[in-house]
């Protein structure tokens, strides 16, 4: 496995996973786990999440996870900088609140946010019903392999 992972903790409330957990979950979601891959995961508070959500998605308010696929600078070939998948920004207070509201363990919801974000960085989306069905099925499959339940099972 060649995942070059950088975890940035802008905040680290109790229950925030260690880097090893983030690595395990991200590796499980990679389409080609043997390929050299770079990924940044940044754990933030609600203010930073809200600011990024407003700036990049035009939406007011914090959100659980934002994914930013890597785009090489103009004029630079993508392979000149190696294979950087992109960045995930995960809002710790939102993840904790959602886990409690949904009756999930904190670890299960953190794992879901990482898997969900990594799938987005690899091109999956949920804009249409078909896309959502495909992405949710893939998430459930990965999370089951990781020992967690289906995140969409009510």
pLDDT at 83: 84
Number of domains into which the chain is organized:
1
Owning domain of residue 127 = 3-145
The whole-number average pLDDT for the span 31-54 is: 93
Q: Is residue 80 part of a domain?
A: yes
pTM for this structure? 0.93
pLDDT at 81: 63
| Cβ atoms of 83 and 38 closer than 8 Å | yes
Say if residue 61's pLDDT is above 60: yes
Closest to 124 in 3D by CA, of 109, 112, 139, 111: 139
Say if residue 154's pLDDT is above 70: no
Residues above pLDDT 90, as percent of the chain: 82
pLDDT at 78: 64
Q: Is residue 86 part of a domain?
A: yes
Q: Is residue 74 part of a domain?
A: yes
DSSP string of the chain, one letter each residue: --EEEEEEES---TTPPPHHHHHHHHHHH-SSTTS-EEEEEEEE-HHHHHHHHHHHH---S--SEEEEE--PPTTS-GGGG--EEEEEEEEHHHHHHHHHHHT--HHHHHHHHHHHHHHHHTT---SSHHHHHHHHHHHHHHHHHTT---TT--
Using CA atoms, how far apart are residues 124 and 131, in angstroms rounded to an integer? 8
pLDDT in tens, 78-97: 666 668 899 999 999 999 99
**Backbone angles phi and psi of 18, in degrees to 5:** -80, 165
Q: Is residue 151 part of a domain?
A: no
Q: Is residue 30 part of a domain?
A: yes
Say if residue 98's pLDDT is above 80: yes
The CATH number covering residue 63 comes to 3.40.390.30
pLDDT at 16: 97
Q: Is residue 31 part of a domain?
A: yes
Q: Is residue 154 part of a domain?
A: no
Say if residue 64's pLDDT is above 70: yes
**What is the band of 35 on the pLDDT scale with cuts at 50, 70, 90?**
confident
């Amino acid at each position: 496995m060649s995942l070059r992972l950088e975890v940035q903790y802008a905040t680290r409330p109790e229950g925030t996973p260690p880097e090893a957990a983030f690595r395990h979950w991200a590796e499980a979601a990679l389409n080609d786990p043997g390929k050299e891959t770079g990924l940044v995961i940044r754990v933030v508070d609600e203010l930073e999440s809200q600011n990024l959500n407003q700036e990049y998605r035009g939406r007011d308010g914090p959100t659980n996870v934002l994914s930013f696929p890597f785009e090489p600078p103009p004029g630079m070939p993508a392979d000149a900088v190696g294979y950087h998948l992109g960045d995930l920004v995960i809002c710790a207070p939102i993840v904790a609140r959602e886990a409690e509201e949904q009756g999930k363990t904190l670890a299960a919801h953190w794992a879901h946010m990482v898997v969900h974000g990594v799938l987005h960085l690899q091109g999956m989306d949920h804009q249409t019903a078909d896309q959502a069905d495909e992405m949710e099925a893939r998430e459930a499959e990965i999370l089951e392999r990781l020992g967690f339940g289906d995140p969409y099972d009510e």
